[in-house]
Amino acid sequence: MTDAALSDLATAAATGPGDRPAAEYVLVGMPDVNGQLRGKAMRGAAFETALREGAVLTDLLLAIDPVDAPIIDYEGFGIKGGSADVELRLEEATLRELSWQPGWRVCLATPLGADGEPSELASREATRRTLAAIAGLGYEVRAAFEYEVRLRDGDGAPLSSGLSYTFTELARFDAFIAALEPALETIGVELAGIHTEAGPGLLELNLTASDGLRAADDAVLVKLAVKSVAASMGLVASFLAKTTPGEEGSSGHLHLSCWQDGSNAFGAADAEDRLAPPFSGAVAGILDHLPAASLLLNPTLNSYKRLVPGWFAPVNVSWGHENRTAAVRAIRTGPVERWRLECRRPGADANPYLALAALVAAAADGIERGAEPPPAVEGDACERDDLPALPGSLESALRAFEDDGEFRAAVGAGFCDYYATSRNWELKAWREAVSDWERERYTRAV
């Protein structure tokens, strides 16, 4: 960063809208293993110094679970390592304004290892590694996330009744959307569209496609913006995969295409109108590794309660042309620039960095091998009992993850060991819990 730019930043930190004095803070954070931003707020002068010299945070942030309990299964860092400092490199290109907190900004940071290089435990670095690998094959990735977020008022009532794609239902979100639009504009994210979904209070946000890592950065900041704006209005926004039995869950579908020399490499078909390489290879690679990738795409106990037949949530290894019941949907409508694949397996609870890393790693493998997908599925893929089942629980996803050494190597062996430990910790936490369902079901019967 130039001295002039630093001076401009310091000046901006000292004033707010209309040149009024403002106590500017910059939220400096790193995405944790669950995709939540963790860090601290820095005053303008401290942030200016951190841009030049770096900053530190406790490495405990790499070793805590979603409710802040230290994961004691890690050795050498976190609680068992004394919660030592970890150095951070601030990613200046990610600096964004926060319209819902005037005078505040956010900047992502990368934890560094003892050698001064990016830590292999950072989920954002897992994405960067897989993008570098597919770049080595000559392709750049464009990606876009779709998030279904559930919104409730302060009394817990959903903002809509649960009819999908209806304008009258969409109007119930009008005040929230009006507040969200400027928030997304200031963090540099554009929505391609919004619509209601078939669940009470369920709103789908379609993010515009971005290049590589920027797509995941946009997604994690959108989650921050949605929750923050909702809270400022007395609303509660949730990205939980399954909130209520018998209702549609919240997905986090991911769209992906590969580009070469400024053109969409997916924008071609062979003489029989079949997918041409590298489109076919990407689809095949994702299908081959989808059981293992499920641990990254569906990371919680709750994730698998969304993945049941009848709710447009894929349960088997399947793909189809424009088939929303399949795990992978090949989209070849409109201009070739818009041709892409959509993976419908991820839930809204997935860490966007890891969801993107999983698909890029699997697609790169299929492209490199020149793999071909099986025949496309027609009709409802969930009714096909001849297709391989995808993991239906966190336990089975862990087994698939452990069995696919090629996939783990592509994502990063060190990171995958670290990540699997965190998922096993979730299972331990669940096994120690006693739910209301168990008490209600068994108290009188046993």
- Is the confidence at residue 215, as pLDDT, over 90? yes
Task: For domain 128-431, give the CATH number.
Answer: 3.30.590.10
Structure confidence by residue, pLDDT tens digits, 385-418: 999 999 999 999 999 999 999 999 999 999 999 9
- Of 341, 344, 359, nearest to 250 by C-alpha is 344
- How much of the chain, in percent, has pLDDT values that exceed 90? 91
Beta-bridged to residue 341, according to DSSP, are 256, 330
Phi-psi domain of 138 (left: phi exceeds 0; alpha: psi -120 through 50; beta: other): left
- Overall pTM surpassing 0.85 (yes/no): yes
If you compute the radius of gyration of the chain from its CA atoms, what whole number of angstroms results? 22
Residue 194 CA to its chain's centroid (Å): 18
How far, in whole angstroms, is CA 84 from its chain's centroid? 28
Query: Which pairing describes strands 25-31 and 104-111: parallel, antiparallel, or unpaired?
Result: parallel
pLDDT recorded at residue 271:
58
Average pLDDT over residues 370-399: 96
DSSP-derived secondary structure for 122-155: -HHHHHHHHHHHHHTTT-EEEEEEEEEEEEE-TT
Instruction: Classify residue 433 as exposed, middle or buried by CB count within 10 Å of its CB (0-12, 13-18, 19+).
Output: exposed
Structure tokens at 22: 């403002």
Identify the pLDDT of residue 14: 39
- Distance CA(121)–CA(29), nearest Å, equals 15
Give the pLDDT mean for 346-370. 98
Q: Span 328-336, mean pLDDT?
A: 94
Per-residue pLDDT, 23: 52
pLDDT in tens, 99-145: 999 999 999 999 999 999 999 999 999 999 999 999 999 999 999 99
DSSP 71: -
Domain 3-112 has CATH 3.40.50.2300: no
pLDDT at 270: 67
Lowest mean pLDDT across 6-20, 108-122, 262-276: 6-20
Q: Where are the domains of the chain?
A: 3-112, 128-431
Residue 4: other Cβ atoms inside 10 A: 8
Residue 5: pLDDT over 60: no
